[in-house]
């Protein structure tokens, strides 16, 4: 069976994060975790569909003992339908399994679909997951025998045909027939694939819905990164490299992975679950908790990193970074902090493609792109996004998003006059007596 791994999306809802396929979890890109999970489930023949923006990075990935080829989807506006059509010349008549590169599921979901597709009375299989609240995705309408009668993309809250959400793990015994139908279908919305399936169902195609009750977390919005972090933390095994240098006065608590080349200085604390990547420096008096720190980072003196995802080669010094997603090659001047809690403690909203969307949490800090420099004593308000290749000046309060390739500075006006206040020499001694 061939796996068609859909990885061509531009991650527009995740901006300024460059490409969610290459978000790092426990030192590996997300797409590598996906392929390794599929390999464990018994798959060994992969067609990865990418776009011009990420083809080079996809080609850099190496896997042993599997067939692995990359196909370019030239028109990304055609979405999932365009990705499948791009594979027309390589799928042949083989059974195919279509999988999203950024929907995290337990391996049992793959095993479940393989077992079901072997039924001779089934032409295709789609995995579904029951949800308790509205999810902005596709929904499955099924009959009494579990066969799908319709697939409805983003019906809107209150219009769901069922509580069974379509997970992008689909098996098709006749992919050529599907591709032929996709080429006939047109739609004004991003549902050409679903419309094609509906058309095939009306023509007699038997698509079985398989309910999956295990873990499922799609990465559609930046805050989903934290949910996936928790999943990987829950399943990781604690290991500390023999090559790591850890000071006698440093404190290591909980479940942690500490890789080779790490240096942890005096009185620093790592409070797990945490992942500390290769050659990371955690300096004196620093605290890292519930976070992933990728290789080459310097967590400078007296810095606190809490519940955050930190990319490669990020440098800090006397900073607070909480509930934040920081991409590669960023640095923060001394005293710069991220706000992560509204004063009214309500949920924090984030600007997604021009629309304010709730993160459904009251703790959310900064989201950055790559290659950012921040001056000293700058404060970022909760839910703010900073695009790649920005320089943010010193002593500023940043309350709103900054687009990529910007230089941000502010004017500070000083008022200087004669001092008329009388300062008592022993005022501090009097205060000390009251402490």
Residues 231 and 188 in one domain: no
User: Based on the domain organization, do 292 and 320 belong to the same domain?
Assistant: yes
Residue ending a domain, choose from 193, 220, 247: 220
Question: For position 359, which CATH number holds?
Answer: 2.160.10.10
For residue 153, is pLDDT > 80?
yes
- CA 116 distance to own-chain centroid: 30
On whether residue 413 sits in a domain, the answer given is: no
Given this model, what pLDDT does residue 286 score? Answer: 98
Question: Domain boundary residue among 175, 194, 220?
Answer: 220
263 plus 168 within the same structural domain: no
Q: Are 177 and 244 found together in one domain?
A: no
CA atoms within 13 A on the CB side of 424: 6
Task: Provide the percentage of residues in the chain whose pLDDT is more than 90.
Answer: 76
**Please, what sign has the CA dihedral across residues 86, 89, 90, 96?**
positive
Does residue 235 share a domain with residue 174? Answer: no
Query: At residue 427, does pLDDT exceed 80?
Result: no
Q: Residue 150 falls within a domain, yes or no?
A: yes
Please indicate, yes or no, whether residues 393 and 290 belong to a single structural domain of this protein.
yes
Residues 283 and 386 both lie in one domain: yes
Q: Are residues 175 and 69 in the same domain?
A: yes
94 pLDDT above the threshold of 90: no
If pLDDT is split at 50, 70 and 90, which confidence band does 435 have?
low
Decide if pLDDT at 396 tops 90: yes
Kindly state whether residues 117 and 191 are assigned to the same domain: yes
63: containing domain: 2-220
Is residue 163 located within the same domain as residue 30?
yes
The pLDDT of residue 334: 98
CB contact at 8 A, 85 and 183: yes
Mean pLDDT of 68-77: 91
Query: In angstroms, how far is CA 75 from the centroid of its own chain?
Result: 24
Angle at Cα 357 formed by Cα 355 and Cα 363, nearest 5°? 140
Contact 5, 61 (CB under 8 A): no
Q: What is the pLDDT of residue 430?
A: 74
What's the pLDDT score for residue 294? 98
The pLDDT tens digits of the residues spanning 349-378 come to: 999 999 999 999 999 999 999 999 999 999
225 neighbors 326 (Cβ within 8 angstroms): no
CATH label of the domain that carries residue 81: 3.90.550.10
**Whether residue 425 has pLDDT greater than 80:** no
**What is the per-residue pLDDT across 279-321, written as a single tens digit (0 to 9) for each?**
999 999 999 999 999 999 999 999 999 999 999 999 999 999 9
The answer to whether residue 422 sits within a structural domain is no
Q: What is the DSSP string of 4-52?
A: EEE-----GGGTTSS-GGG-EETTEEHHHHHHHHHHHTT--EEEEEE-T
Same structural domain, 126 and 232? no
**Is 252 inside any structural domain?**
yes
* Structural domain count of the chain: 2
Statement to judge: residues 279 and 253 lie in one domain: yes
pTM of the predicted structure, to 2 decimals: 0.91
Q: Does a structural domain hold residue 305?
A: yes
pLDDT, averaged across the chain: 93
Over pLDDT 70: what percentage of the chain?
A: 99
Residue 95 lies in a domain: yes
What value, to the nearest 5°, has the Cα angle with vertex 49 and ends 47 and 51? Answer: 155
* Boundary (domain end) residue, out of 220, 250, 276: 220
Q: Is 150 exposed, middle or buried (0-12, 13-18, 19+ CB in 10 A)?
A: middle
- In-domain check, residue 242: yes
C-alpha–C-alpha distance, residues 307 and 329, integer Å:
19
Q: Is residue 426 part of a domain?
A: no
């Amino acid at each position: 069976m061939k796996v068609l791994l859909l990885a061509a999306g531009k991650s527009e809802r995740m901006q300024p994060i460059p490409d969610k396929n290459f978000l790092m979890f426990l030192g590996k890109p997300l797409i590598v975790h996906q392929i390794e999970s599929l390999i464990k489930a018994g798959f060994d023949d992969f067609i990865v569909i990418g776009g011009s923006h990420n083809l080079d990075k996809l080609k850099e990935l190496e896997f042993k003992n599997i067939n692995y080829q990359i196909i370019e989807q030239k028109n990304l506006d055609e979405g999932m339908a365009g990705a499948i059509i791009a594979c027309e010349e390589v799928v042949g008549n083989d059974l195919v399994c279509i999988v999203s590169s950024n929907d995290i599921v337990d391996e049992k979901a793959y095993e479940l679909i393989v077992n079901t597709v072997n039924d001779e009375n089934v032409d295709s299989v789609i995995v579904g997951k029951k949800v308790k609240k509205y999810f902005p995705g596709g929904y499955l309408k099924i009959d009494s025998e579990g066969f799908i009668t319709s697939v409805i993309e983003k019906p809107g809250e209150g219009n769901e045909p069922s509580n069974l959400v379509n997970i992008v793990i689909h098996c098709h015994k006749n992919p050529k027939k599907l591709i032929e139908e996709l080429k006939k279908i047109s739609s004004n919305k991003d549902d050409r694939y679903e419309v094609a399936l509906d058309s095939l169902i009306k023509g007699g195609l038997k698509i079985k819905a398989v309910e999956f009750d295990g873990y499922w977390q799609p990465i559609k919005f930046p805050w989903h990164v934290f949910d996936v972090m928790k999943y990987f933390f829950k399943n990781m095994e604690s290991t500390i490299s023999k090559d790591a240098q850890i000071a006698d006065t440093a404190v290591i608590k909980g479940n942690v992975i500490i890789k080779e080349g790490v240096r942890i200085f005096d009185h620093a604390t790592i409070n797990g679950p945490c992942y500390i990547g290769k050659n990371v420096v955690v300096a004196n008096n620093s605290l890292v908790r519930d976070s992933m720190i990728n290789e080459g980072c310097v967590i400078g003196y007296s810095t606190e990193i809490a519940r955050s995802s930190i990319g490669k080669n990020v440098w800090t010094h006397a900073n607070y970074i909480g509930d934040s997603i920081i991409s590669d090659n960023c640095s923060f001047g001394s005293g710069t902090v991220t706000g992560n809690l509204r004063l009214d403690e309500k949920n924090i909203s984030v600007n997604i493609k021009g629309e304010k969307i709730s993160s459904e949490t009251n703790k959310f800090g900064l989201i950055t792109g790559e290659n950012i420099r921040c001056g000293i004593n700058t404060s970022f308000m909760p839910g703010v996004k900073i695009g790649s290749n920005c320089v943010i000046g010193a002593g500023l309060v940043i309350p709103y998003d900054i687009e990529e390739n910007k230089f941000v500075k502010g004017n500070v006006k000083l008022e200087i006059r004669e001092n008329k206040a009388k300062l008592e020499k022993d005022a501090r001694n009097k205060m000390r007596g009251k402490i």
